Amino acid sequence: MLYPVLVGGRWRDAIHPAGSLNAMNPETGKHLPGAYPVSTWPDIGEAVETGAAAAETLSALGPDRIAGFLEALAGTIEIRRASLVETAHLETALPAEPRLGSSEFPRLVDQLRQAARACRDRSWCRASIDTKFNIRAKYGPIGGPVVVFSPNNFPFAFNAVGGGDFAAALAAGNPVIAKANPGHPGTTRIFAECALEALTATGMPGASVQLLYHFGAEDGLRLVSHSSVGATAFTGSRASGMRLKAAADRAGKPIYLEMSSVNPVFILPGALEERAGEIAGELAGSCLLGAGQFCTKPGLIVMPENARAGEFIGRLKEGFERAEPGYVLGRKLIEALQEACIRLRKSGAEPITGGRETGGPGFRFAPTLFRVSGDIFLSSPAAFQVETFGALAVVVLSRDLDAMRRIVSVMDGQLTGSVYSHSSGNDDAAYGLIEPGLRRKVGRLLNDKMPTGVAVTPAMNHGGPFPATGHPGFTSVGLPASMLRFSALHCYDSVRPHRLPAELRDANPTGRMWRLIDGEWTQRGI
Enumerate the active-site residues. Answer: 258, 295
The interface with its own copies within residues 50-109 (CB under 8 A) comprises: 56, 59-60
306 part of the interface to its own copies, by CB under 8 A: no
Candidate residues 448, 502, 509, 510; the one interacting with its own copies per rule CB under 8 A? 448
359 part of the interface to its own copies, by CB under 8 A: no
The minimum distance between CB 217 and its own copies, in angstroms, equals 19
Which residue number, 82 or 489, has a Cβ lying nearer to its own copies? 489
Which residue number, 63 or 413, has a Cβ lying nearer to its own copies? 413
110 part of the interface to its own copies, by CB under 8 A: no
Q: What's the CA dihedral at 512, 516, 522, 523 to 10 degrees?
A: -20
The minimum distance between CB 320 and its own copies, in angstroms, equals 25
130 part of the interface to its own copies, by CB under 8 A: yes
The minimum distance between CB 292 and its own copies, in angstroms, equals 20
477/114 Cα distance (integer angstroms): 12
DSSP string computed for 228-297: T--EEEEES-HHHHHHHHHHHHHTT--EEEE-----EEEE-HHHHHHHHHHHHHHHHHHHHGGGG--TT-
Site string for its own copies, 385-424 (x = CB under 8 A): ----------------------------x--x--------
Region of 90-98, 280-288, 302-310, 471-479 interacting with its own copies (CB under 8 A): 471-479
Helix pair 105-121, 63-79: axis angle to 10 deg: 170
- The amino acid occupying position 38 is V
How far, in Å, are 12, 44, 147, 384, 444 from residue 472 at the CA level?
A: 40, 30, 20, 22, 11
Which residue number, 374 or 470, has a Cβ lying nearer to its own copies? 470
SS3 370: strand
Phi-psi category of 226—alpha, beta or left, where left has phi over 0 and alpha has psi -120 to 50? beta
Counting residues that bind its own copies (by CB under 8 A) gives 76
466 part of the interface to its own copies, by CB under 8 A: yes
Closest to 151 in 3D by CA, of 159, 139, 141, 142: 159
481 part of the interface to its own copies, by CB under 8 A: yes
The minimum distance between CB 59 and its own copies, in angstroms, equals 6
Closest to 456 in 3D by CA, of 106, 159, 150: 106
Which residue number, 22 or 228, has a Cβ lying nearer to its own copies? 228
How far, in Å, are 292, 342, 385 from residue 378 at the CA level?
A: 25, 19, 11
429 part of the interface to its own copies, by CB under 8 A: no
The interface with its own copies within residues 136-165 (CB under 8 A) comprises: 136-137, 139-144
Site string for its own copies, 501-520 (x = CB under 8 A): -------------x-x--xx
Cα angle for residues 240, 243, 249 (degrees, 5° grid)? 135
Candidate residues 10, 16, 30, 250; the one interacting with its own copies per rule CB under 8 A? 250
135 part of the interface to its own copies, by CB under 8 A: yes
451/464 Cα distance (integer angstroms): 13
Chain centre to alpha carbon of residue 55: 24
The interface with its own copies within residues 482-501 (CB under 8 A) comprises: 484, 487-496, 499
Cβ neighbors of 341 (< 8 A, separation 6 or more) are 351, 355, 368, 370, 392
Phi-psi category of 331—alpha, beta or left, where left has phi over 0 and alpha has psi -120 to 50? alpha
382 part of the interface to its own copies, by CB under 8 A: no
Candidate residues 132, 359, 360, 511; the one interacting with its own copies per rule CB under 8 A? 132
The minimum distance between CB 514 and its own copies, in angstroms, equals 5
Which residue number, 166 or 474, has a Cβ lying nearer to its own copies? 474
Per the DSSP assignment, residues forming a β-bridge with 419 are 266, 447
Region of 78-86, 133-141, 273-281, 353-361 interacting with its own copies (CB under 8 A): 133-141
